[in-house]
Amino acid sequence: MSSIGSNTNLTCYRVIYGDTDKMGVVYYANYLRWFEQGRSELLREMGTPYAAIEERGMHFPVAEVSCRYFKSARYDDLILIETRLTSVSRASLTFAYQIRREADATLLASGSTKHACIDNQGRISRIGIDLVRHWREHPEALMTR
């Protein structure tokens, strides 16, 4: 398993009414959608949008997820989704997330996702060495420790 440096992607999102319950508080599962949004933007920023990964015959379904909630996001809040790729092993990736309210930098939630690498038939597969090499050779997006 290799450790990945501290470079991050920061994505902004405005909470819409459809994200909330009757009281204007964000429904808890939406934080997982925001993890996905941050992860997609990070991969795109690293030069490997998810569609390009799928074209290589690889898929990264979520195998584990963790989310700890600290404060509630509310309707019309502007939130910041900070995403880091924290580790890459032969057949998995791990991302870490922090979600903050932009107005006061309050930490709303933090968490992580671990993704298995599978092929088009759904079998566990090694992450393509060319993909790992690409991530390591682009220090502007990612630094290997």
Please name the amino acid found at residue 110: S
Q: Which residue of the set 19, 21, 76, 130 is catalytic?
A: 21
CA distance 22 to 122: 39
Our CA angle for 1, 42, 68, nearest 5°, is 75
In order of 30, 46, 110, the CA distances from 58 in angstroms are: 26, 17, 27
Query: Is 144 within 8 Å of 2 (Cβ atoms)?
Result: yes
DSSP 8-state code for residue 127: P
Is position 21 annotated as part of the catalytic site? yes
- Residue 93's H or E segment, with its range, is strand 92-101
Give dist(CA 105, CA 71) in Å, integer.
11
Q: Write out the catalytic residue numbers.
A: 21
